[in-house]
Structure 1
């Protein structure tokens, strides 16, 4: 994504945003918050903020075609790899990608800045990927659609080590891993785990398969149903318990039951309900995993479930993440009481994201989703993806950070693992955590989704303020306190400098996001 021409913020705008309150803003209701008295809600995993690298990016293959015409055409190898797509997929939606180079210095620097994290290597393509016995890629055997060479998997392990990430993955479940009776065999899984361990790697957690509710679309055998899933899942759990007892078993990893993005709808004969999957599989999961997309992207036009940029700051859009959580949480409570919730795949929209997924407009959804889910006790949120298609944190061609990456970096540096109750308020979305790495300190995340009106926040103590804004909401650039965020000449991360706000009222300008750290909060929950 090229930089917007002439993207500069004048000093007059900066001063106005950080100094005197305009007359219109003075009329806005003021919310008073005392960070020292915010009660503790709970804690989140230190790897709460995580990300996906799709299996198809590791192996090479056809993934969601970017909207940019310059990047949309497949390479000469594309035709040779056309089969490396989900079953029943429309080939016009995809473009071939060479395998991602996980040794790239910029990629490792940017990923390491988000450490610690979980690195999930999975996705629909993983369901039918063959793990090779040698380093040389080969044609996939019958019953598979792609090949994961040992060299490529070693690249994942090396990258995870360099990036301070723990690996999460899923198993192949296509016809190629089954015996004559159609039963899932652990041979492929056993080979993957054994090789990982032999080179000093570790798989921290695993799902049996990616999105079993869409099993037919994901490459499962014809006629695959909940009973078959239950039988296979039990075999998978037995394999893990017997040979990999330290691995966290995740499941079921469902999608498509709570929002307009469900495709095909629940009524489809191919759709498997999560309730039926859980009833058939019985106990065995260590954490309840699920996926959430609030909509389908424009690539999937013609299928119900699209959204618009005009709705991107609406409460209905932002609240969909809680609606999905509530649905799956109720099933967790019934079938796996007290197990932690993991959101192992989420982004702006399914099918690679909308064109505005790569702009500042989606940063509101990204940070609001993290705030809501942390407040609700979800332990892990894996953004899809790190660097692929329009919803990636990084541009997949240049690896230049997008607005959501800068938001992720601020969250990582400022928001600790202890979650505080900042309440639910009109006119502003407010979240609070103990400040990462500073005893007694509190960080507030204030998100003003109103496009025209400022919000007012009154704090009794001085705060350090980090305000994210853009000259227009669909900008590929984002500013921090009026300065464009960009990498240095040697891929150095910029200094994330705060502006000090004295005690009293603070204006949160329309359509902006502010992190406010209060070092002297002395909140006992943060001691």
Structure 2
């Protein structure tokens, strides 16, 4: 590990998270599995009602949430999702409107947005968001106007807040019942983005503009509803959008609320540790990287919304089983050239790394915490690994010359790994793969009675050949590696 070459350097906030706009506004979102019904294929609007439920706005000031999120900082926090497309910003201090004005679907109050700004500041997060694009902000010709974005920005500035990056549209290629059954056309998107760009250049020139933010899936079958307009059409439409950040969304499959797990579009727990499942992010990233290289060569590329499965996540996503995908995706895309990845979600019912109802950590929270503490911004070339044993390496965070190896053992048998130094071993396992309780070196990771995080310590190994338990995630830190790329 003394001479592993440098591949590239990644954003300090590479590992980032989404808090859905619905957590600020309240309103409908995906029903959690412990209270679900009518799951299966969804083909008509009325069937969506069976898999969705109303939520109250989340308490982003909750001390436990602040503790957990603060330990992951710095990161980007995206207040986004489909709700953003039709949100009404209530620019007064009156009680929340019971019914949103015509052309809008939900209401964002000053109080809720101020809470979002305060949350971001408290946990060292820079804000990424979108702006309303529904009929409520369009003129008689259907053209987007900034009449809603202007007061929203003005209020943000008046509270001392800042937006780091903004997407005009959440998933312009994705159908939305009502106004856009086939999504937004590339022609109309380009027209509206030009107006948006001019407005932002005048009123918020420091905000980076991201796009096109299209929805993509990793399923091995065509999804006609997402294929009316290609990402390239959005990037090349006239007038051609000038993106500061090239963004896209990706989900590996469709969750069982909307597609049976054994269908081509679905995913089952039996697939969770397979090579084919873990490799699904690669193709869409490479496609967007190629588009970035062609049409916006100097722009970073961000995955601004991602998770295991669209339609609110898999039934097993809160368990240790999904921690393998979570970390493997972070590591493999960082090495390939991704600049930031925004996981959906920080808090959510089935796909949050923190449970939205209890604010207790789900299993992937501990994976995220160890990544944050141990994996630095300099990515090293640890080779290609092998089927069943994925190996990645970064410079150790906050230790000059140190190296951290991430070794993911997907196999049901023990694996061996030879190192060039004596490591501090952080081994994540679980008694059952579908458990929410994660073990660090055979000790359960739990908050204490005061909601303080447990000690996160590795075991010093006295050998350079390390045993990796079956179905385990291992961070192997070599502080004395003296790697020149990590100086």
Shorter-chain TM-score bucket reads over 0.9
Return the TM-score normalized by structure 2: 0.94
How far did residue 263 of structure 1 move?
4.6
Q: For residues 115-156 of structure 1, what are the alpha-carbon distances to aligned partners after superposition, in whole Å with 9 as ceiling and x for unaligned?
A: 000010010111000111212311211111011010100000
Q: Which of residues 261, 268, 284 in structure 1 aligns to 2:242?
A: 284
Determine helix, strand or coil for the equivalent of 1:332.
Answer: helix
Question: Would you say the 8 A contact 2:422–2:460 is kept in 1?
Answer: yes
Are 1:65 and 2:23 an aligned pair? no
State how far apart, in whole Å, the 1-side matches of 2:31 and 2:356 are: 11
1:500/1:257 CA distance change after superposition, 3 Å: closer
Determine helix, strand or coil for the equivalent of 1:256.
Answer: strand
Q: For residues 441-475 of structure 1, what are the alpha-carbon distances to aligned partners after superposition, in whole Å with 9 as ceiling and x for unaligned?
A: 0100000111x222211112111000000111111
How far did residue 374 of structure 1 move?
1.1
State how far apart, in whole Å, the 2-side matches of 1:381 and 1:257 are: 16
Residue number in structure 2 paired with 1:115 = 73
How far did residue 262 of structure 1 move?
6.5
How far did residue 216 of structure 1 move?
3.7
Q: Please identify, of 335-344 and 151-160, the stretch whose mean Cα deviation from structure 2 is larger.
A: 335-344
1:224/1:117 CA distance change after superposition, 3 Å: closer
Determine helix, strand or coil for the equivalent of 1:90.
Answer: helix
Residue number in structure 2 paired with 1:334 = 294
Residue number in structure 2 paired with 1:311 = 271
Question: Would you say the 8 A contact 2:182–2:225 is kept in 1?
Answer: no
Report matched runs for 1:363-512 at 5 Å. 363-426=323-386, 427-450=388-411, 452-512=412-472
Q: Which of residues 45, 49, 54 in structure 2 aligns to 1:91?
A: 49
How far did residue 400 of structure 1 move?
0.8
Aligned length, in residue pairs: 475
How far did residue 504 of structure 1 move?
2.2
State how far apart, in whole Å, the 2-side matches of 1:155 and 1:218 are: 31
Question: Would you say the 8 A contact 2:174–2:226 is kept in 1?
Answer: no
Residue number in structure 2 paired with 1:32 = none
How far did residue 377 of structure 1 move?
2.0
Question: Would you say the 8 A contact 1:260–1:295 is kept in 2?
Answer: no
Residue number in structure 2 paired with 1:348 = 308
Question: Would you say the 8 A contact 1:53–1:384 is kept in 2?
Answer: yes
Q: Which of residues 122, 139, 143 in structure 2 aligns to 1:183?
A: 143
1:101/1:89 CA distance change after superposition, 3 Å: farther
How far did residue 259 of structure 1 move?
3.1
Question: Would you say the 8 A contact 1:174–1:220 is kept in 2?
Answer: no
Unaligned runs of 5+ in 2: 38-43
State how far apart, in whole Å, the 2-side matches of 1:287 and 1:217 are: 28
State how far apart, in whole Å, the 1-side matches of 2:290 and 2:177 are: 26
Are 1:141 and 2:98 an aligned pair? no
How far did residue 511 of structure 1 move?
0.6
How far did residue 213 of structure 1 move?
1.1
Residue number in structure 2 paired with 1:127 = 85
State how far apart, in whole Å, the 1-side matches of 2:183 and 2:277 are: 35
Moved over 2 A (4+): 86-89, 215-224, 256-267, 301-304
Question: Would you say the 8 A contact 1:415–1:434 is kept in 2?
Answer: yes
Are 1:523 and 2:483 an aligned pair? yes
Are 1:361 and 2:321 an aligned pair? yes
1:523/1:62 CA distance change after superposition, 3 Å: same
Instruction: Indicate the RMSD between aligned Cα atoms, in angstroms.
Output: 1.9
Q: Which of residues 40, 55, 65 in structure 1 aligns to 2:6?
A: 40
How far did residue 395 of structure 1 move?
1.2
Determine helix, strand or coil for the equivalent of 1:36.
Answer: coil
